[in-house]
Every structure is written in structure tokens, then in C-alpha cells.
Structure 1
Amino acid sequence: MRTILSWSGGKDAAYALDEMRRDEDVRVEGLLTTIGAETGRSSMHGVRRELYERQAAAVGLPIEFVELPADPTNEAYERAMAVAIENHANRGIERIAFADLLLDDIRAYREEQLSDTDLDGYWPLWGRDTAALAADFANRFEATVVSVDGDLFDRSFAGRAFDAEFLAGLPDDVDPCGENGEFHTFVRDGPIFDEPVDVTTGETVTRPVGDGEFHYCELLVPNEPEP
């Protein structure tokens, strides 16, 4: 099946790509990522376009960016995604894969948005135990925690490695994979990479998100000044 992967650059997406590359019935042909048109960053991860491009090169896949306006409405997001999906269908892509694990409402929303398109949805990680997946990921990949919910974490968690120590220190009500949006990651290395994505951590800043706030750690290419 000719497949594209909805790509966040984080652990679940990387794990999904690893799983699909092990499946001889799946051919992943590219990555699809949303970023802000003005900021050039993903909204929840805060990761810059350049770093996504480095990731894509390291895993050997083309990446396409769907640019969203500042503070996009659901309607604006859906319009932009509909155009991207139609373009991929016209190229012969058969389905789009998502790395969602367990949230029924999110999956139902994605299925509804695909219902009038020529692409099917595919969930290679659906129903996995999040604690087991997180532990296996930490053993086989390297990732940095790039953003955390300020209601659940203090600033010191942003910029930490996603590893056994990080998992051991999670609050009891936080999912080990951050499946409820508690934290987000950027994957630097692992079995899907031809070479590591070399980044260092920079300044941590706090920004409002909805009714709360998130702490974001800037990722830098070594010897690069703060953007």
C-alpha cells in the first residue's frame, strides 16, 4: 500500500515509521507535517521547519509541509489538509498513516475528515500499551522533550532526554507516551535513521496555549545562534 505518514517529528510518529518499514505490505513514500506559515514552526512542538527537513533527510523520505495561518480555526486546518490529501491522492497515494494510540475521538475525527476523500486512514500503533511502547522507544531511539504542559511539569522537564529516567519521573496522571498532549518530543536518532540529527538545547520559553501554558525548549544545530 502506497502510504504517507502524518509526521510530528516525535516519538510516536518515529515508532510508527519503524513499524511500517518492517511490514512488507506497506510502502511509506513521504511525510506530511503542519507548520505555521508565519512562524515556520509546528504549533505544539515548537520545532522549526529546518529541523524537520533534517529529520526527513536522515530517514530518507521526502517531506511536505502544510502551512497554517496564525491561530488557525478548525475550518482553516481542514481546508489545508483537504488540499494536501487530494494532491497525494492524485499522485497515487492510497492511504495516510497516523501514530495515534488510544483516543477514540481523535481517530473518529480523522476518519470523518477522510470519508469524502480517496485516501484511507491507517493506524499502525492503535491499541498499543503506552507504557510498553514508551519503554521500548526509550531503549531503541534517542529523543529530546521539546515542550511540556506547564500545569503538569516545571520548566526543567523541557529539554530533557526522553529516556528511562524521564519516564520514571513522570507524574502519576501523565501518560507515558504523552498521548493526552502532556508533552512532545523531537527524535534525533534510532533504527529508522541513516544518520543522527545533531541538535543541542537552547533557551526554554513559556507561552500561553489555550487556557494554560506550555514550556518550550529551543532546539539548535550545533554552533548555530539562537533564532
Structure 2
Amino acid sequence: MRSIFNWSGGKDSALCLHHVLQDKSCQVEALLTTFSGSTNRVTMHGVRQELLVRQAASIDIPLTKVSLPEGVGMEGYNQLMQEAWLPFQKRGITHAIFGDINLEDLRQYRENQLAKVGIKAHFPLWGIPTATLVHDFISTGFKAVVVCVNERLLDGSFAGRMLDEKFLQDLPAGVDPCGENGEFHTFVFDGPIFKEPVAFQLGERVRKTYGPPANADDSCYDKDKAPDYDTGFWFCDLLPA
């Protein structure tokens, strides 16, 4: 199975890639990541592009970067992603791999978009309990730092903490241990898929707010599951070292 891997740089991506690399029937030929064209940071996570480049070098899989214009809507996003996927399809790639776990509407969206360019979506972690996954992540030897938290769901002081057993113990009731509901995002800097750790230093913590899309239908989510925008996000900047 010749594949591209949709890489965020976070824990779900890292654990999923670890599983996939142990599957002899699967050949991962590239990592693919979207970045904000205005900031050169990973969308949602806020991590600098240079750190993702270093991750890919340590994993030893080429990284394909997709630049997203500021304020791009879903129609424009879909077009850019199809333009990114199509060259892979033409060279024989048959599958795109995602670390999604249980968000059904997101899975359907990915499958529908990929079908337009003749690629199938593959979800190796699908349906596995999130508590099982995060404990497997830690016990396998991965190391990650929390880079973004949704302040409506988690206190901003969690940004910049290591993802370890103490972090999990401190999570409030109702917060998914993998952050599957958007509670937090991570950056993985060491573990069994890396030849060497990705060096960084913790930078400042910054609070940002985001408004809803101008078009209420401009979302990949079902209308009754669309994210709320009555909140801020705390980011911990990571400085390449």
C-alpha cells in the first residue's frame, strides 16, 4: 500500500505513524503538513515550520508543505488539498493515512475529498479508546510538549507542559486524554520513530482568539457539531535550539 501520511507533528500522528511503519504491507512515501502562509506555522497547533522540517529529517521521510492563505475558506482549502494530493495519485499513491480516532464527520469529510482525486483514506487508530492510545504513546517512549490549549475546556497553564502521566492525572473531569475534542494539541520531539530528538526551547505563552467563518456553511463539521468560537486559545511558542 503506497501512502502519504497526513502529519500534524502531534501525538496522534506520531503514534499512528509508529504503527504504520511496523506494517510491512504499507509504504509511507511522504509526510504532508498544512501551514499558515502568513505565519509559517502549523495550522491549529501554532508550531514553527522549521520544527516540522526537523521532525521529518529525524524520521527520514520527505515532508510536503501545503501553504494556506490567511482567511482561506473551505472551498479554497479543498482546492489546495486536491492540488497537493493529485501529484501523489499520478505517481501511484493509493492511500492517505490519518491519525484520527473517533470524529465521524471529519472521517467522512476526508474520505469524500480524497475520493475526488482517486485516493483512499486509511485510519489505523480508528475506534481505539483514547485513554489506551495516550498511555501507549507514553509507555512506548514518545515525548511531547503541549503547544496549544482551548481555554474554555482547559486552563491556559497546561500550555508548555510535558505530556506525561502527571499531566493526565491533572486533567479536569470530562477532558479527553488525547484532546480529541480540541482541548489541547502537542508537538512530539522524541520517540521510537526518530533517529534523534528534535531540540527546542520553550518560548512565551500567548493568548489568541478566533472568530467564526464569514459563511456559516464554510466548515467540514456537521452544523450541530461545529466548534464554538466563544473562547480563546493559549499557545506555547517553541524555539528551535
- TM-score normalised to the size of structure 2? 0.90
Q: Which structure 1 residue ranges, 4+ long, deviate > 6 Å from structure 2?
A: none
Distance in 1, Cα, partners of 2:232 & 2:157: 15
Q: Distance in 2 between matches of 1:158 and 1:50?
A: 20
- Percent identity of the aligned residues? 49
Give the unaligned 5+ runs of structure 2: 212-228
Per the TM alignment, residue 219 of structure 1 is displaced from its structure 2 partner at its CA by 0.2
Match of 2:39 in 1: 39
Structure 1 range deviating more: 34-43 or 48-57: 34-43
Q: Deviations over 1:199-223 (max 9, x none)?
A: 111100000034221000000123x
Q: CA deviation at 1:155?
A: 2.2
Aligned to 2:232: 213
For 2:155 and 2:196, the matched residues in 1 are separated by 32
> By how many angstroms is 1:17 displaced?
0.5
| Distance apart, 1:8 and its partner CA | 0.3
Deviations 1:161-219 (A, max 9, x none): 00101111111111111111110000000000000001111100000034221000000
SS in 2 for 1:205: strand
1:180-219 alignment, distance < 5 Å: 180-210=181-211, 211=229, 212-219=231-238
Contact 2:148 2:186 in 1 (8 A): yes
Q: Which runs of 5+ in 1 are unaligned?
A: 223-227
Q: Which residue of 1 aligns with 2:218?
A: none
Question: What root-mean-square deviation, in Å, do the aligned CA atoms of Structure 1 and Structure 2 show?
Answer: 0.9
**2:67 counterpart of 1:67:** yes
Aligned residues: 222
Give secondary structure in 2 for the equivalent of 1:156: helix
* Distance across 1 between alignment mates of 2:92 and 2:36: 27
- Of 177-186 and 109-118, the range deviating more from structure 2: 109-118
Q: Does 1:89 align with 2:92?
A: no
Distance in 1 separating the partners of 2:156 and 2:181 = 19
Specify the SS of the correspondent of 1:39. Answer: coil
> Residue 132 of structure 1: CA displacement?
0.8
Structure 2 partner of 1:120: 120
Question: In the alignment, which residue of structure 1 is the partner of 2:221?
Answer: none
Deviates more, 1:103-112 or 1:208-217: 208-217
- Alignment partners' CA distance in 2, 1:57 and 1:84: 20
Which residue does 1:225 correspond to in 2?
A: none
* TM superposition shift of 1:153: 2.0
Q: Deviations 1:48-91 (Å, cap 9, x if unpaired)?
A: 11010000001011001111111221111101000011011112
- Where does 1:8-19 land on structure 2 (aligned, <5 Å)? 8-19=8-19
